[in-house]
Amino acid sequence: MDQTLFLWLSVIVIFSLGTLAHFLYDLSHENKILGLFTAVNESTWEHVKIAITPTLLWSLIDGYFYGENPNYFTAKLTSLAVLAFFIPLVFYSYTRLSKKPILPVDILIFLAAIILAQLAFFAIINLPDFPFISSYLSAIGTFIFFGAYMTLTLMPLKQIIFKDPTNGQYGFRAHRNFFKPLKKNPHKK
């Protein structure tokens, strides 16, 4: 498949799945396992996570086509790092000036991050082969990144990137239904 077509297909799929991942936790009736991979609150981290999840899922596709390329894991780790740094950097920069988030700008940041991450992936894939040690360390780094990404939902750091701006909470506790009382049994007297 032509790389340019593959690039834009990856952007469309990742953007679409990421958009779905924004709503999937609520749609699943707050399934905690699904919450490890989808947005559980409105923090910046959770918006980074919904870009990372479909990028990792896309690895099943790009790994099939490019997995034997010695630069594959370096390209994958770089694309994940672009997402993890670009979204918060641009979001906090513009909201510092605007004093508040603007939804269309946030969506454009999300899309731009995905495009840049995929461009970085293909730029590295097309470079001359990296030494084995680079691929090996990048593979380890990718798995560490994956583990950290899930852990930070379960045990978020008390930093602004993990704080839900709507209620000041972190992780699953920041979800709007976390503190809702359970429905009382109507048959119990």
Per-position DSSP letters for 52-111, written without gaps between them: HHHHHHHHHHHHHHHTTSTTHHHHHHHHHHHHHHHHHHHHHHHHHHHSS--HHHHHHHHH
pTM assigned to the model: 0.89
Give the pLDDT band of residue 62 (cuts 50, 70, 90).
Answer: very high
Q: How far apart, in whole angstroms, are the C-alpha atoms of residue 100 and residue 163?
A: 15
For residues 128-146, give the mean pLDDT.
94
Give the pLDDT band of residue 180 (cuts 50, 70, 90).
Answer: low
**Percent of the chain's residues with pLDDT above 90:** 82
**Mean pLDDT for all residues in the chain:** 91
Q: DSSP character for 184?
A: P
For residues 79-85, give the mean pLDDT.
97
pLDDT attached to residue 175: 84
